[in-house]
Amino acid sequence: MSQKFQASVQQRGDVSYVKLGGVIDEDNELSDLVDKIPAGTALIDVGEIERINSCGVRDWVNWLGKLDGQGARSVLVECSPAIVAQINLVNNFTGNGVVKSFYVPYFCPECDEEKVLLVETAEMGPAPHEPPTCRCDECDLVMDFDDMPDSYFAFLSNAKKIAEPDRLNASIKEMAPTSTTTKARASNGTTSNGTNSKVKARMSSPAIMAGGTKPSVPSLPSIGKGGAATPGRPSVSAAQLGQYQAQVRAAGKVASQPPGSLGAPQSLSMPAAAPAASNATNKIVFLLIGLLLAAVAAVGYLVYTK
């Protein structure tokens, strides 16, 4: 078995549990699994698939077709963001199979943490689909959905219903490999505080690969009435405030560009307040400029009066 691609098959009665992981590319060994999966229900766990290229997509579609031809009904379980991206891009990526559950990516701008949340397809409800609430394990704040809802959840519009979900859940619980760290799971569209969640590395979905990290916009220091600064915080002049607002508008334009059109955006920083000593320096500079202008005027007068 290739180091890039891992696969294992378990069977209980007419249900086969197929665990896939790694990368599905031209070196995949999906064809070797056809004879190991008999007729019945094939639970295909793709939660650990990190990436799949065009050759991998071709072999994947052909593989599902062979399974369907020999009477194996495919049910995709724990689809990673990389798999969800392909489901939305390739019309027949799931073949005649169904998607039972999938991961939703999140990002916390405060802690720079990433997490994926496991969601049951049947719990997403009708369109328009919104990402469930997910909290950060570090700061317990609500995390940002790390994609675009309309595009990420597009496949749900044509999602097929799953027959005998309770039976499949029992089979998954029995045959799924146990892990020392549990994964984050949604419950009725929301999550708890995430104490039993698993933070995973960001996977290869289009928005993740192109965008990099999100631009961080710092909070604006408090300004008292009449332009006076709040005690304990630096004062901000009108010019500095205008410069800061221009940076924020520029960040908004960067965020609105299509994925991949721009490089990683730069972080914005609030300009520091000018020190009090600079006022005296400015007065000296203005005085020297005035003396210089007076001297030039005097020389010009003498030259023209001769």
Domain that holds residue 50: 5-209
Helix/strand/coil for 195: coil
| pLDDT (0 to 100) of residue 231 | 40
| pLDDT (0 to 100) of residue 75 | 96
Do the domain assignments include residue 274?
no
Beta bridge partners of residue 74, listed in sequence order: 42
The phi, psi pair for 273, rounded to 5°, reads -70, 140
Does pLDDT of 175 surpass 60?
yes
- List pLDDT tens digits, range 87-144: 999 989 999 999 999 999 999 999 999 999 999 999 998 888 999 999 999 999 999 9
Number of neighbours of residue 28 by Cβ within 10 angstroms: 23
Q: Are strands 113-120 and 101-108 parallel, antiparallel or unpaired?
A: antiparallel
| Residue that has been written with the tokens 């701008």 in this structure | 109
Average pLDDT over residues 26-44: 94
| pLDDT (0 to 100) of residue 5 | 94
Do the domain assignments include residue 30?
yes
- In 13-112 the beta strands, taken as DSSP E runs, fall at 15-24, 40-52, 72-77, 98-99, 101-108
Q: Are strands 72-77 and 40-52 parallel, antiparallel or unpaired?
A: parallel
CATH number at residue 137: 3.30.750.24
- List pLDDT tens digits, range 188-227: 433 333 333 333 433 333 333 333 333 333 333 433 334 4
| pLDDT (0 to 100) of residue 3 | 80
Long-range contacts of 128-131 (CB under 8 A, 24+ apart): 129/153, 129/156, 131/104, 131/106
Do the domain assignments include residue 165?
yes
Using alpha carbons, select from 169, 204, 167 the residue that is nearest to residue 185. Answer: 169
Please answer whether residues 271 and 244 qualify as being in contact, where contact means their C-beta atoms are separated by less than 8 angstroms.
yes
Do the domain assignments include residue 11?
yes
- List pLDDT tens digits, range 261-290: 444 444 444 444 444 455 677 778 888 888
Do the domain assignments include residue 244?
no
Number of neighbours of residue 220 by Cβ within 10 angstroms: 12
d(CA 230, CA 137): 33
Q: Where are the alpha helices (DSSP H) in the chain?
A: 54-69, 81-89, 149-152, 165-175, 206-211, 238-255, 277-305
| pLDDT (0 to 100) of residue 297 | 83
Q: Based on the structure, what is the number of domains in the chain? A: 1
Do the domain assignments include residue 231?
no
The phi, psi pair for 280, rounded to 5°, reads -65, -40
| pLDDT (0 to 100) of residue 240 | 53
